[in-house]
Structure 1
């Protein structure tokens, strides 16, 4: 998915937030979010994309984007244990996870099926960055926004799936 419409800049970015993003290994993903979109480049790539082979056909030949390329661009590890786990199947379980992760639970209107609306996450980022706990909540919220927009955004660009929420459980091992 190539998109230019959803910047995810932290609205109250500071050095402590940057340090925490570095601890979680999501700092480089965050930096991708502030790269200015070049619509001409995106349009040129879209014109050269072949969905049947999942490759770009360029004048110099065929170009394949590999997991190694993505790992290099985003600075994320790909040589560790796979990310697995059970997905939540009830709204009550989801509420409990949000309450634990962010200190507040969403209403049903803040969700869309099995997804959290990005507007709810953006509203959460109004936390006061006064103590370690709130900074971690802010960074977790920001990581969910990165997942929902840059890493695994859908065509609507309006929500992120609940299944990513348990990955934020242990702040020291998010990366």
Structure 2
């Protein structure tokens, strides 16, 4: 294998972050269950088989967005994701529109009940409409102490289930604020993560 073609594989896992935060209080757990995302809690892993993952990386073709295996070409579909992540694949797709930093600040203020100054400092530190996972963890713990359950639930979902599991990225430390858009109606848990009307 040519090293220029396939750089060294780096595995990123947030499983320990999920385990370290622990189980949420029953009020938050109930809101999370209502979103349909609670199965993601069990999907976070601490380690992976580097050889197995390397084999899949070697067989991935970006041009076709598929794996080229000895049995043929394989594409991962939403029907494949449903049993893997134990998530219901129903309803309309949710499209996330890019956010300007000012929009991200307003979203954080409104949905996480954080001061505008604190959110400006955080998005400035992240150089864009992002927040650090460590910052979200602190917000989550603060909102739990203050018993602001809806804001705490949004922070929990953005931190662990979206930022560390479903939409984990190569930064290993940041999550896009735009994902909060899907968490607007968490107080009405049956509508959270639903399609936009």
TM bracket, shorter-chain basis? 0.7 to 0.9
Paired residue total: 172
Alignment of 1:143 with 2:151, yes or no, is no
**Matched residue, 1:29:** 40
**Matched residue, 2:141:** 126
Task: Point out where structure 2 has 5 or more consecutive residues left out of the alignment.
Answer: 1-9
Is the contact between residue 4 and residue 37 of structure 1 (CA under 8 Å) also seen in structure 2?
Answer: no
The verdict on how the C-alpha distance between 1:39 and 1:142 changes in structure 2, with shifts beyond 3 A counting, is: farther
Is the contact between residue 148 and residue 157 of structure 1 (CA under 8 Å) also seen in structure 2?
Answer: no
TM-score, reference length from structure 2? 0.72
**Matched residue, 1:47:** 58
Alignment of 1:12 with 2:22, yes or no, is yes
**Matched residue, 1:95:** 105
Q: Which stretches of structure 1, 4 residues or longer, exceed 6 Å deviation after superposition?
A: none
Task: Point out where structure 1 has 5 or more consecutive residues left out of the alignment.
Answer: none
The verdict on how the C-alpha distance between 1:114 and 1:96 changes in structure 2, with shifts beyond 3 A counting, is: closer
Is the contact between residue 57 and residue 63 of structure 1 (CA under 8 Å) also seen in structure 2?
Answer: yes
TM-score, reference length from structure 1? 0.79
SS of structure 1 residue aligned to 2:142: coil
Q: State the Cα RMSD in Å.
A: 2.7
Higher Rg of the two aligned structures: 2
- The alpha-carbon deviation at position 35 of structure 1 amounts to 6.1
